[in-house]
Amino acid sequence: MLSSNSRKIVIFRKLITEIVKYIEVNSSNKNSMQILESIKRIELNEKNKNVEHSKNLLKSQSLKYALSTIVSNDLLGIKNSILSAVGQLYWSVDNGDFYEKNSGVGTGYLNGNMNTELIGPEKGFFRSDELRLGLFFLDSDTFYADHMHAAPELYLTLTNSTKWRFGKKAWKQKPAGSVIYNEPFKPHAMVVGSIPFLSVWCWPNNSNEKCVLISGIKE
């Protein structure tokens, strides 16, 4: 019979494996593939576990609703793995972790965001000195202002109804299951619709650098 700790390792490893498997099948972008290789090099075992934070679940009803909207057969492996792990996850609200405090990122983002790290330097279940892999959540009807960062970024969207903007291009909706690669320092923004935004996200390097808001771009 597995110990509680061993069960957690199995659950988190399964979720990461499902994420990797989906991206391998559904993306041919060379930059996304490079990030994927970085994820696959992380040891997912007891030896490479971080000190655990107390599990918590913020915005539980909104998260439950977001998960209920994931109906694509291709995403069910990830969805079911999240449901298995959700009671063991440590969620954080970004209020100075990824942005400088008083950055002006907006109350919508500050009140509507949360994230959890499966892999990361301190808060990740498994440790990496630089790579961060986790889940990112924005509540419904949230505007996430134009911003950029030094880290290259990979998103795998799990829900619908969120529009994206890259630079000064027009808003474009990205359906659930989209694999999105953002180059370092490439401005981007999001507007979340009636369904909360839930995604996988990864910063493979420069992950301790703060995000920077972009001024002069209208919503």
pLDDT tens across 89-107, in order? 999 998 878 887 778 888 8
Distance CA 74, CA 78 (A): 9
Give the pLDDT band (50/70/90) at residue 41. very high
Second CATH level (architecture) for the domain 4-213: Sandwich (2.60)
Give the pLDDT score at 67: 98
Q: What sign has the CA pseudo-torsion 29, 10, 151, 191?
A: positive
CA distance linking residue 137 with residue 139, whole number of Å: 7
**For range 126-154, the mean pLDDT:** 97
Query: Is residue 136 scored above 80 in pLDDT?
Result: yes
Q: What is the mean pLDDT of the chain?
A: 93
pLDDT digits (tens, 9 = 90+) for 156-177: 999 999 999 999 899 999 999 9
- Per-residue pLDDT, 216: 60
The confidence band for 5, taking pLDDT boundaries of 50, 70 and 90, is confident
Look up residue 106 and give its two tokens: 């907006």
Which of 12-21, 56-65, 73-82 is least confident? 56-65
pTM of the model: 0.95
Q: What is the pLDDT of residue 219?
A: 57
And the tokens for 17? 């494996």
Per-residue confidence (pLDDT) for residue 141, from 0 to 100: 97
CB-count exposure of residue 188 (10 Å: 0-12, 13-18, 19+):
buried
Query: Tell me: the pLDDT tens digits for 180-212?
Result: 999 999 999 999 999 999 999 999 999 999 999
pLDDT tier at 56, thresholds 50, 70, 90: confident
In this structure, what token pair is assigned to residue 38? 């970085």
> Given the DSSP bridges, would you call strands 126-127 and 113-120 parallel, antiparallel or unpaired?
parallel
The whole-number pLDDT of residue 137 equals 98
Domains of the chain, by residue range, sit at 4-213
